[in-house]
Chain A
């Protein structure tokens, strides 16, 4: 299987020498093509820092991150822009859509930056919007549509460039349970039908139960790993809860 992401012994320190805090402490893992991986952990465990490092928003203190045979910890300037443009798709908790543009333009922006021609863009946007059932809101502005729809627009924007890796930081964090479920089904669709590789950070056990594999992070280290295998989602969910109980104290965060 093709290896999309390789994280090798990364560390991330914050603060000065006298007051050092380790956000990530020697984490290594791999993600293969077509996997849907979840990262779970309590707040402050370093999961978002990990995602920020992988997404090149933040820089690691030591270690290497290899995406598609390219060490991204060494990328700079234009190469970094190119990498973000072509290999990564971002989905955030608070959508991060541009209010000045319509939903259509928001999705198209990712492609226009790549200088794809207008007709091609239209074709691609139409197709992806139909798959995610947001075709009727394409002409509206982000402030005119609901949270779930906004997040689906954000997903469209993230995956329209056909990125190697989609990074999602608590994508269901600001959605109600119904929209969240719908969104996760969209994720499943992307993963199974379009073979998108997704890395999702979450602290919610239900959200995590949609993934194929979960990494649990505690105090900047990988604490446990759960693989869904042939379990049903309900069984997987129960296993997740079990691990969370072992992690201690986190159960209260979910309910």
Chain B
């Protein structure tokens, strides 16, 4: 119970710190989805045959790119996480001097991360919709 309360409160209070993390996640996830869902877009199904072939080629190429993107994204998330944890070293120190175990502290961090993840997942849905529309529009225009 206390763990849950602490997580929520910590998140609300350190929203500024989290906004960096949040933005990273939102942008990351949005870009990732953009890369991987190009072929299932409505606009893509309605283009002419020759354009369709070209787009297929583009998609298979994007497959490789998306591996690269996921690696970069992974590193970015790890970095953002470390940044956050470092900022809160002292707080964890206080928990430890009060006798909280490593497991309990991990629980707090885990819960906070899950909460942030959930929110960014929700935000992504809106963001992604806007981004993908622009993206598809541009790629259709180029061919």
Asked if B74 CB lies within 8 Å of chain A CBs, one says: no
Stretch at the interface among A105-113, A130-138, A244-252: A105-113
Of chain A, the residue at the smallest CB distance from B104 is: A113
Q: Are B101 and A78 in contact (CB under 8 A)?
A: yes
Nearest Cβ on chain B to A160's Cβ, whole angstroms: 11
By secondary structure, the B interface counts as helix
| A33 interfacial by beta-carbon distance below 8 Å | no
Q: How far is the CA of A123 from the CA of B90 in the complex (A)?
A: 29
> Contact check: which of B12, B13, B99 meets A113 at CB < 8 Å?
B99
Interface-centre pick from B14, B93, B96 (highest chain A CB count, 10 A): B96
Q: Which residues of B contact A55 (CB under 8 A)?
A: 97
Let me know if B94 is at the binding interface, CB within 8 A.
Answer: yes
Nearest Cβ distance between residue A246 and chain B, in whole angstroms? 35
A86 at the B interface (CB under 8 A): yes
Distance between Cα atoms of A109 and B12 in the complex (Å):
18
Tell whether, in the assembled complex, residue B90 and residue A84 are in contact, meaning their CB atoms are under 8 Å apart: no
Q: Are A85 and B9 in contact (CB under 8 A)?
A: no
Are B99's CB and A86's CB within 8 A?
yes
Encode A77-105 as 1/0 by CB contact (under 8 A) with B: 11001111110101000001111110000
Q: Nearest CB to that of B11 among chain A residues?
A: A100
B10 contacts A by Cβ under 8 Å? yes
- Interface membership of A20, Cβ < 8 A: no
**B contact residues around A85 at 8 Å (CB):** 98-100
Set of chain B residues within 8 Å of A96, measured between Cβ atoms: 90, 93-94, 97
CB pair A84–B99 under 8 Å, yes or no, is yes
Asked whether, in the complex, the Cβ of A109 is within 8 Å of the Cβ of B2, the reply is: yes
Q: Which 9 pairs, one residue from A and one from B, show the smallest C-beta to C-beta distance? A: A85-B99, A84-B99, A112-B2, A100-B13, A81-B101, A100-B9, A90-B97, A81-B99, A96-B94
* Residues from 107 to 127 in A contacting B, C-beta threshold 8 Å: 109-110, 112-114
Contact string against B for A residues 181-199, beta-carbon threshold 8 Å, 1 for contact and 0 otherwise: 0000000000000000000
Cβ 8 A contact of B14, one of A57, A78, A100, A113: A100
In the complex, are the beta carbons of B9 and A101 less than 8 A apart? Answer: yes
Instruction: Determine which of A88, A99, A113 lies in contact with B100 in the assembled complex, contact meaning CB atoms within 8 Å.
Output: A113
- Residues of chain B within 8 A (CB-CB) of A90 are 97-98
Report the nearest B residue to A141, measured CB to CB.
B13
A109 x B98 contact (CB < 8 A): yes
Given A109-B2, A113-B2, A98 and B94 contact (CB-CB distance below 8 Å): yes
Report yes or no: A57 in contact with B13, Cβ–Cβ below 8 A.
no
Query: Taking beta carbons and an 8 Å cutoff, which residues of B are in contact with A?
Result: 1-2, 6, 9-10, 12-14, 90-91, 93-94, 96-101, 104
Of listed B9, B12, B96, B97, residue having the most chain A CB within 10 A:
B97
Q: Say how far B48's CB is from chain A's closest CB, in angstroms.
A: 58
Residues of chain A within 8 A of B2, CB atoms compared: 109, 112-113
Q: Of A82, A84, A101, A110, which contacts B96 at CB under 8 A?
A: A84
Chain B residues within 8 Å of A101, by CB: 6, 9
Q: What is the chain B residue whose CB lies nearest that of A82? A: B99
Determine the residue in chain A with the shortest Cβ distance to B12.
A100
Interchain residue pairs with CB less than 8 A apart (13)? A77-B101, A81-B96, A84-B98, A84-B99, A85-B99, A85-B100, A88-B99, A90-B97, A90-B98, A96-B93, A100-B14, A113-B100, A114-B99
Residues in A neighbouring B98, C-beta threshold 8 A: 84-85, 90, 109-110, 113, 157
Chain B residues with CB below 8 A from A98, complex form: 91, 94
A residues near B13, Cβ cutoff 8 Å: 99-100
Residues of A within 8 A of B100 (CB): 81, 85, 113
Q: In the complex, which residues of chain A have a beta carbon less than 8 angstroms from the beta carbon of B14?
A: 100
- Write out, one digit per residue, whether chain A residues 42-58 have a CB within 8 A of any chain B CB (1) or not (0): 00000000000001010
